[in-house]
Amino acid sequence: MRKRRSIALSITARMNAGEFRRVLRDDGRLLVGIPAPDDLIELRGAGRDRVARTIETFGTDFKLVDQRRVTTAADLDAAGFDVLLDDREERAGVKFKDADLIGIPYRINVGKKAAEGKVEIVTRATASSQDVAISEVVATLQNTTDTV
Query: What are the CB-based long-range contacts (under 8 Å, 24+) for 79-84?
Result: 79/138, 79/141, 79/142, 81/138, 81/141
Our count of domains for the chain comes to 2
Nearest to 123 by CA among 109, 110, 136, 111: 109
- Tens of pLDDT, residue by residue over 6-61, are 877 776 656 788 888 888 888 888 877 776 666 555 555 555 667 778 888 888 88
Taking residue 117's Cβ as centre, other Cβ atoms within 10 Å add up to 13
Confidence of residue 69 (pLDDT cuts 50, 70, 90): low
pTM of the model: 0.56
Let me know if residue 138 belongs to a domain: yes
Kindly state whether residues 17 and 50 are assigned to the same domain. yes
Kindly state whether residues 43 and 79 are assigned to the same domain. no
Kindly state whether residues 77 and 53 are assigned to the same domain. no
Domain containing 105 — which CATH number? Answer: 3.40.50.800
- Please tell me whether residue 125 adopts helix, strand or coil conformation: coil
Element (H, E) at 96: helix 92-101
Let me know if residue 141 belongs to a domain: yes
Provide the pLDDT for residue 46: 58
Kindly state whether residues 54 and 85 are assigned to the same domain. no
Kindly state whether residues 54 and 88 are assigned to the same domain. no
Q: How many helices (H) and strands (E) does the chain have?
A: 6, 5
Q: Torsions phi, psi of 138, nearest 5?
A: -60, -50
Q: Which domain holds residue 80?
A: 72-147
- Tens of pLDDT, residue by residue over 103-140, are 999 999 888 887 788 889 999 999 999 999 988 999 99
- Tens of pLDDT, residue by residue over 78-110, are 888 888 888 778 888 999 999 999 999 999 988
Let me know if residue 66 belongs to a domain: no
Kindly state whether residues 77 and 28 are assigned to the same domain. no
Top-confidence residue, 40 or 68 = 68
